[in-house]
Amino acid sequence: MGRRKRRLWDSERVRALRQHLGLTQGRMAEELGMRQQTISEWETGMYQPRGSSDTLLSIVAERSGFYYRTRREDDEQG
């Protein structure tokens, strides 16, 4: 069996990336070619980005110099 990929884009990270970019939900949705409701659903934790959306957020984050660690990751690092 293949290893399950841990989801990088939880609600905290999506919101933090949007704020890092200085965008409203509506403007971020426009820039990414999706609905504002989709961004809202990600930020509330109703859904998580999958597939190409996950990849797109990763590319945007990398190109904008965004780096974010959750408290849980900090705890795991010791």
Domains of the chain: 11-70 (1.10.260)
In this structure, what are the phi and psi dihedrals at residue 51, rounded to the nearest 5 degrees?
55, -125
Q: Which residue has the higher pLDDT, 24 or 2?
A: 24
Q: What percent of the chain has pLDDT over 90?
A: 74
Per the confidence metrics, is the pTM higher than 0.75?
A: yes
User: 49 CB contacts (<8 Å, ≥6 apart)?
Assistant: 9, 14, 42, 56, 57
Distance from C-alpha of 18 to C-alpha of 25, rounded to nearest angstrom: 7
